[in-house]
A and B are shown apart, each in its own frame.
Chain A
Amino acid sequence: MTTATSDERMTMAAGDDRPLRVLHYFWEPLVLGLFLLGATLFINVCGGTVLMFTMTNILIEVVMVIGLYIFIGNSGIIAFGHITYAMIGAYADAWLTMTPFKKGFALSLPGFLANNQFPMLPAAIAAGVFSGVVALITALPLMRMRGIAISIGTFAVMVIFNTVYANWDAWTFGASTLVGIPIYVNDWVAFGWVIAALVVATLYQKSRFGLALRASRDDAVAARASGIRVYRERVLAFGLSAAFMGIGGLLKAHFIGSIAVSAFWIPETFILIAMLMIGGQRSLTGAVVGAVAVSVITEVLRQFEAGLQVANSTVQMPHGFSELGLAVMMLAILIVRSSGLTNGREVPWPFARRTNAAERNRAEAVARIEASGPGASEATAGSRLEARDISVRFDGLAAISNLNLSMGNNEIVGLIGPNGAGKTTMVNVLTGFQQATEGDVIINGETVTRLGPLQRTDRGVARTFQAVRLFRDLTVLENLEAAAIGTGLAGAAARKRAWDVLVWMNLDHKAYVRANSLAYGDERRVGLARALAMAPRFVFLDEPAAGTNDAECDELMALIARIPKRFGCGVLLIEHNMRLVMGVCDRICVIDSGSKIAEGAAADIQRHPEVIRAYLGTRSEKSRA
């Protein structure tokens, strides 16, 4: 696309494409909602009471699976205890909506709850919020754990609430079934809540919170290095997700008219997780498809249990057949297609792949870059980073000893040395991924030695990784947006900055490509772009030229050389590639075995005897002879 056409498109974009954008934004909930609407209508017209009962059940399951998806799909962490929040929501709602007479029969609640009956909708909302808040509180300790331990922790939480509710006679009627809950839920009420769940899930996953969480799902380490509050995002999503579990639980209670603690336990957990996994845990579409598909299939299998007429004979399967079927289905999906029926994709957008909004974003970025000229932002001017007497020891092995390094925000410093010299360790120390055993890291006069990666990013530190670590299921644009969000920008501003960097790096044509389908060279360039999207004061590039050929290397050299001017940020370049280092660095620091052996301009370094010895070795006795 040439600039001439982009101008044209800009004027076109100035025309109102807002309805189209809104349609695009809410495309998934719209299609999924229409699909469920069609099914509900069809069953209302053609089905009997039994089918309507089944349909209502399916819709309630859909609400719960969407609830589950909000956390699992966006965070990538499997939560096994979510059913407990359905229980919490159901009981909270029962406290609010049962008639005082019926409450008096089974429960001994405090006066305010015992003597009042509240209207259904506000009560449902309050109960949903209540279960969300309870989940938020339980998430505070849970999300401090790592990886699979969180999943196990959610089990522990389920045991805790289940035990308490089963013994909390005054509020829950103990392990007995609590009856007398007003029945008001039918397929249309459930459908209404499905729509609410779809819309909230969409709003969330397209918000900056959802995007940040999805970034952490793909790579938690890179997310932290991009300034994303992984812990906070997980806690928030957990609460939101549990709120809809609560709604699902109370819908069920108001559908069958009773609740029991034992109905919120491992088998129910399994069915919900099976629905999400079979549909595809990484998309909202998957959540809905899974809930519907699994419900329909188990319903068919149950018909076999009851005895089904096939041809002239009755086929009857023993009780438990449908459950076995579900377990086998789940295993088969995990083995054959672990990303589920939808393969983690949403309902496709049927019109032109990009709206002209995207084109306009690009054009605006071009305009902004041209307007700002070569000048950098003033915010970062005069920044200074210093590392004083840094030592790092691993169990007595000295990786770095007494290393000093200092750089401003307008220079490119090279950090070179043979393999194992301690270069990456030094970057980890500067970015907070590795604690120094001794010494201090100082940014603009502030000692940041004890701060972790997240706090360092607040002070303008950004990095790339040797292993690149892109957020692989996000698009290139989203990768950059996530990093911009990590520095505190909200949606529109983050998007703007992402476009600016993409255009500046000539990566704009890749904006909508998923990171996991990029070619190797592009992957590395996106890694660099992502770091720059944080508008850092200092950026650390860990072997950006690894695996690139000479031509690509020249291109990279030109690019790096332009960074300080454009972004007002200092570059620390860790590299093996001498061409690149010698060609672009203002100053080079050479380390070997963890100590600095030389520092100076490129020309001096090349002649420095210590450097030559470290790289080429000295003449041994044998070769001299």
Chain B
Amino acid sequence: MQVIIQNIIDALSLGSLFALTALGISLVFGIMRLVNFAHGDFISLGAYALIVPSASPTAIMYIGNWPALATIVAICAILILIAIVCERVAFKPLRGADPSVLMIASFAVSYFIQNAIIMIYGGRSKGVDLWPFLQVQVPVGGIRLQLLQLVTIASTIILLGLLTLFLHKLPIGRQMRAASENFTMARLLGVRANFVIAAAFGVSGFLAAVVSLLYVVQRGTLAYDVGAPLVMAGFVATVIGGMGSVFGAVLGGFFVGITNVFFQVMLPVSIRADRDAFVFAFVILILLIRPSGLIKVKSVEERV
């Protein structure tokens, strides 16, 4: 029983991180057809922002030592800013370009950020100990679970709720949905393109901040490509969910997380290290059955 519940919690907490990452990618894709490879590097930057910039091999906490709430606010603010700046500098001049060009541009941004991290913080990974109190095991109904995992799942649920409200109740949220349905038409009806796109990047930066904090507590180390596995999973999740569908991205994120834990548990020990290979192969199999993902988005399809 303990094992089963532990596996379920593992799957949900991993799925949460993937879902939040996929969500950040999907929001931006929906509006400007950009598959943002640099989203993973936003996550890395959020983690690095916790420490004092230096190339020394040991990390000295700076923002990470602030009171938790202040840390959260600061990291969110930093990543929102970075995301918006990236959009202005790199993606705005390319607005309307082919999706593959945009994706390559984001690849360049990602390469830039990774090497900037190497330049400033050095290339080796560093240990960090953020919020050790989250690492404790808490008893829940007779079994012991890690507090961090529970926090991860809870904050994901809360964020998804808030985001739904944001997208449906607030004017800017509605404008974002309209823009992702039909960008040109939304503009003709008075939606300001710059504003909506900046908002999408802002929200995406905010989500990256949450993921980076949760992930850094779990991992305990910083590396310049710390966000890479997350962005890979996030990509696959958005494809599985159906490109451009926000709900699909969340679904896809949990799907990838659950698949991952499933293979972790079910594969024989000798090939367990190949788990990622199985996860990604399985994803490709799914796409063979449903090439447009779980949720098909009409605006992405081409009309004849």
Stretch at the interface among B112-120, B144-152, B193-201, B214-222: B112-120
Smallest Cβ distance from A392 to chain B, in angstroms? 13
Instruction: List, in ascending order, chain B residues with CB within 8 A of A77's CB.
Output: 100
Complex Cα distance, B294 from A236, in Å, reads: 28
Instruction: List, in ascending order, chain A residues with CB within 8 A of B232's CB.
Output: 155-156, 159
- Are B304 and A433 within 8 A (Cβ)? yes
- Are A273 and B104 within 8 A (Cβ)? yes
1/0 per residue A600-619: CB within 8 Å of B? 00000000000000000000
Instruction: List, in ascending order, chain B residues with CB within 8 A of A149's CB.
Output: 239, 243, 287, 291, 293
- Are A148 and B100 within 8 A (Cβ)? yes
Contact of B115 among A160, A161, A324, A465 (CB under 8 A): A324
Stretch at the interface among B89-97, B134-142, B181-189: B89-97
Smallest Cβ distance from B130 to chain A, in angstroms? 25
- Are A160 and B276 within 8 A (Cβ)? yes
Stretch at the interface among B8-16, B42-50, B203-211, B277-285: B277-285
Contact (A266, B276) CB under 8 Å given A324-B112, A327-B112: no
Contact (A163, B276) CB under 8 Å given A151-B35, A156-B283: yes
- Are A328 and B112 within 8 A (Cβ)? yes
- Are A156 and B284 within 8 A (Cβ)? yes
Smallest Cβ distance from B116 to chain A, in angstroms? 6
Smallest Cβ distance from B227 to chain A, in angstroms? 11
1/0 per residue A259-283: CB within 8 Å of B? 0000000110010011001000000
Instruction: List, in ascending order, chain B residues with CB within 8 A of A529's CB.
Output: none
Contact (A156, B236) CB under 8 Å given A145-B287, A148-B100: yes
- Are B118 and A267 within 8 A (Cβ)? no
Contact of B104 among A144, A147, A277 (CB under 8 A): A277
Instruction: List, in ascending order, chain B residues with CB within 8 A of A318's CB.
Output: 119
- Are A428 and B274 within 8 A (Cβ)? no
- Are A330 and B292 within 8 A (Cβ)? no
- Are A270 and B111 within 8 A (Cβ)? yes
Complex Cα distance, B277 from A111, in Å, reads: 27
Complex Cα distance, B288 from A155, in Å, reads: 16
Instruction: List, in ascending order, chain A residues with CB within 8 A of B114's CB.
Output: 267
Interface of A is mostly: helix
Is A334 an interface position by the 8 A CB rule? Answer: yes
Smallest Cβ distance from B276 to chain A, in angstroms? 4
Chain B CB count within 10 A is highest, among A149, A164, A167, for A149
Complex Cα distance, B271 from A147, in Å, reads: 33
Complex Cα distance, B176 from A73, in Å, reads: 34
- Are A331 and B109 within 8 A (Cβ)? yes
Q: In the complex, which residue of chain A has the Cβ closest to the Cβ of B228?
A: A266
Complex Cα distance, B109 from A335, in Å, reads: 13
- Are A146 and B292 within 8 A (Cβ)? yes
Contact of A153 among B109, B116, B284, B302 (CB under 8 A): B284
Q: 8 Å CB contacts to A: which residues of B77-109?
A: 90, 93-94, 97, 99-101, 103-105, 107-109
Interface residue count on the B side (C-beta < 8 Å)? 50
Smallest Cβ distance from A416 to chain B, in angstroms? 20
Is B273 an interface position by the 8 A CB rule? Answer: yes
Contact of B274 among A144, A163, A273, A328 (CB under 8 A): A163
- Are A152 and B112 within 8 A (Cβ)? no
Contact of A147 among B90, B99, B280 (CB under 8 A): B99
- Are B119 and A335 within 8 A (Cβ)? no
- Are A335 and B93 within 8 A (Cβ)? yes
Is A326 an interface position by the 8 A CB rule? Answer: yes
Complex Cα distance, B228 from A277, in Å, reads: 23
Smallest Cβ distance from B159 to chain A, in angstroms? 24
1/0 per residue A560-591: CB within 8 Å of B? 00000000000000000000000000000000
Contact (A159, B276) CB under 8 Å given A78-B103, A273-B104, A318-B119: yes
Is A221 an interface position by the 8 A CB rule? Answer: yes
- Are B291 and A159 within 8 A (Cβ)? no
- Are B280 and A148 within 8 A (Cβ)? no
- Are B281 and A334 within 8 A (Cβ)? no
- Are A334 and B274 within 8 A (Cβ)? no
- Are B236 and A152 within 8 A (Cβ)? yes
Interface of B is mostly: helix
Complex Cα distance, B275 from A164, in Å, reads: 9
Q: 8 Å CB contacts to B: which residues of A531-545?
A: none
Q: 8 Å CB contacts to B: which residues of A305-364?
A: 318-321, 323-324, 326-328, 330-331, 334-335, 338
- Are B115 and A327 within 8 A (Cβ)? yes
Instruction: List, in ascending order, chain A residues with CB within 8 A of B280's CB.
Output: 156-157, 159-160
Q: In the complex, which residue of chain A has the Cβ closest to the Cβ of B271?
A: A167
Smallest Cβ distance from B21 to chain A, in angstroms? 14
Instruction: List, in ascending order, chain A residues with CB within 8 A of B115's CB.
Output: 320, 323-324, 327
Q: In the complex, which residue of chain A has the Cβ closest to the Cβ of B281?
A: A160
Is A420 an interface position by the 8 A CB rule? Answer: no
The interface size bin for chain A is: 35 or more
Complex Cα distance, B288 from A153, in Å, reads: 11
- Are A141 and B100 within 8 A (Cβ)? no
Instruction: List, in ascending order, chain B residues with CB within 8 A of A465's CB.
Output: 304
Contact (A141, B101) CB under 8 Å given A157-B280, A221-B304, A320-B119: no
Complex Cα distance, B146 from A189, in Å, reads: 58
Instruction: List, in ascending order, chain A residues with CB within 8 A of B35's CB.
Output: 148, 151-152
Is A483 an interface position by the 8 A CB rule? Answer: no
- Are A335 and B291 within 8 A (Cβ)? no
1/0 per residue A196-208: CB within 8 Å of B? 0000000000000
- Are A319 and B118 within 8 A (Cβ)? yes
Complex Cα distance, B302 from A148, in Å, reads: 13
Is A142 an interface position by the 8 A CB rule? Answer: yes
Smallest Cβ distance from A184 to chain B, in angstroms? 32
Is B254 an interface position by the 8 A CB rule? Answer: no
Instruction: List, in ascending order, chain B residues with CB within 8 A of A326's CB.
Output: 111
Is B235 an interface position by the 8 A CB rule? Answer: yes
Instruction: List, in ascending order, chain B residues with CB within 8 A of A159's CB.
Output: 232, 276-277, 280
Complex Cα distance, B33 from A161, in Å, reads: 28
Complex Cα distance, B148 from A588, in Å, reads: 73
Chain A CB count within 10 A is highest, among B111, B275, B302, for B111
Instruction: List, in ascending order, chain B residues with CB within 8 A of A266's CB.
Output: 225, 228
Instruction: List, in ascending order, chain A residues with CB within 8 A of B109's CB.
Output: 327, 331
Smallest Cβ distance from A369 to chain B, in angstroms? 33
Q: 8 Å CB contacts to B: which residues of A520-557?
A: none
Smallest Cβ distance from B180 to chain A, in angstroms? 15
Instruction: List, in ascending order, chain A residues with CB within 8 A of B105's CB.
Output: 330-331, 334-335
Q: In the complex, which residue of chain A has the Cβ closest to the Cβ of B35?
A: A148
- Are A334 and B292 within 8 A (Cβ)? no
- Are B111 and A141 within 8 A (Cβ)? no
- Are B104 and A148 within 8 A (Cβ)? no
- Are B116 and A324 within 8 A (Cβ)? yes
- Are A141 and B287 within 8 A (Cβ)? yes
Instruction: List, in ascending order, chain B residues with CB within 8 A of A80's CB.
Output: 107
Q: In the complex, which residue of chain A has the Cβ closest to the Cβ of B225?
A: A266
- Are A145 and B291 within 8 A (Cβ)? yes
Instruction: List, in ascending order, chain B residues with CB within 8 A of A319's CB.
Output: 118-119, 123
Complex Cα distance, B94 from A310, in Å, reads: 36
Complex Cα distance, B182 from A484, in Å, reads: 37
Smallest Cβ distance from B37 to chain A, in angstroms? 9
Q: 8 Å CB contacts to B: which residues of A423-451?
A: 428, 433-434
Q: 8 Å CB contacts to B: which residues of A160-213?
A: 160-161, 163-164, 166-167
Complex Cα distance, B78 from A434, in Å, reads: 49
- Are A153 and B276 within 8 A (Cβ)? no
Q: In the complex, which residue of chain B has the Cβ closest to the Cβ of A140?
A: B288
Smallest Cβ distance from B208 to chain A, in angstroms? 18
1/0 per residue A124-149: CB within 8 Å of B? 00000000000000000110111111
Chain B residues near A (Cβ < 8 Å): 33, 35, 90, 93-94, 97, 99-101, 103-105, 107-112, 114-116, 118-119, 123, 225, 228, 232, 235-236, 238-239, 243, 271, 273-277, 280-281, 283-285, 287-288, 291-293, 302, 304
Q: What are the nearest 8 A-B pairs in CB distance?
A: A320-B119, A327-B112, A323-B115, A167-B273, A163-B277, A156-B280, A330-B108, A335-B93
- Residue pairs across A and B with Cβ atoms less than 8 A apart, 6 shown, are A78-B100, A78-B104, A146-B291, A148-B103, A163-B274, A328-B112
